[in-house]
Structure 1
Amino acid sequence: MEKYKLGDKVFDCPVGLASNAINGKWKLQILNLLSQEECMRYGNLKRRIEDVSEKMLIQHLRELEQDGLIERKLYPEVPPRVEYALTEVGRQIIPVIVALKQWGQLFRI
């Protein structure tokens, strides 16, 4: 049986890996926003994702970084500046996000 690895997690099923990678209320929204920009600062992400708490945004950003879908760049400035961007692996999810967006548009009111 083949094994699949994402970050430090190993899966028996590629669907399980993919589901785990985007599991979380805000992860797809984070990935969607980062797919539209070269990079984004934390404050921009926080403003653009309505209703996300600071705790959940930080948690999801850390998980996405640990899984290798996004990268975090810290600039040694005062005050510190942090930017997030999709990695090459993270960019591979863009067609999935586009398909989900198109599917979601079927439910317009």
Structure 2
Amino acid sequence: MKVTNGELAEKGSKEEIINHFCDVKKTNDCPITDVLARISDKWTMHTLIILGKSDKLRFTELKNQVEGISQRMLTVTLRTLEEDGFVTRTIFPQIPPKVEYELTTLGRSLVVELISLSNWANDNMKAVLEARERYILKQN
């Protein structure tokens, strides 16, 4: 199905839309590829969305809300999010040490887009599952 000019007009001019996409043959300098590679692993989106629902969370609170994540994976995920500027980490010098994580302005803006993607997925999941089923039947 081709995207119509009307659908493109809602997002901007056709040229503006096309210019936002990268040459699919050149992935090295592609912002879309770079950002998606960083956030599309098993844990990152879940972590971002949970942080988006809260003002600030301590490590243990966050770990308890990201079902199934190990301490090591949460640490790696949070470090990557901090490196990319999506999360800030605040250390309070006390005993025991207290560390809080919260989304930055950049992180909050990403979560807004993830909510749009989530809404699209919820609205279209039935059609996706039906398409998968048709595909499997066609293969047999």
TM-score scaled by structure 2? 0.64
| Structure 2 residue aligned with 1:45 | 62
Give secondary structure in 1 for the equivalent of 2:60.
helix
1:101 aligns with 2:118: yes
What is the aligned-residue identity percentage?
A: 35
String of CA shifts for 1:46-74, please: whole Å, max 9, x gaps.
10111111111111001111111100000
String of CA shifts for 1:19-69, please: whole Å, max 9, x gaps.
133032110011101111111111111101111111111110011111111
Distance 1:69 1:20 in 2: 15
Matches within 5 A, 1:57-72: 57-72=74-89
Distance 2:96 2:121 in 1: 39
| Structure 1 residue aligned with 2:22 | none
Distance 1:44 1:103 in 2: 29
- Which protein, 1 or 2, shows the higher relative CO under an 8 Å CA cutoff with sep ≥ 6? 1
Q: Larger strand proportion, structure 1 or 2?
A: 1
5+ unaligned residues in a row in structure 1: which ranges? 1-10
Give the length in aligned residue pairs: 98
2:39 corresponds to which letter in structure 1? I
5+ unaligned residues in a row in structure 2: which ranges? 1-27, 127-140
| Structure 1 residue aligned with 2:134 | none
1:70 corresponds to which letter in structure 2? V
Runs of 4+ with deviation above 3 angstroms: none
Q: Max radius of gyration: which structure?
A: 2
Q: 1:91 aligns with which of 86, 108, 111?
A: 108
Q: Larger helix proportion, structure 1 or 2?
A: 2
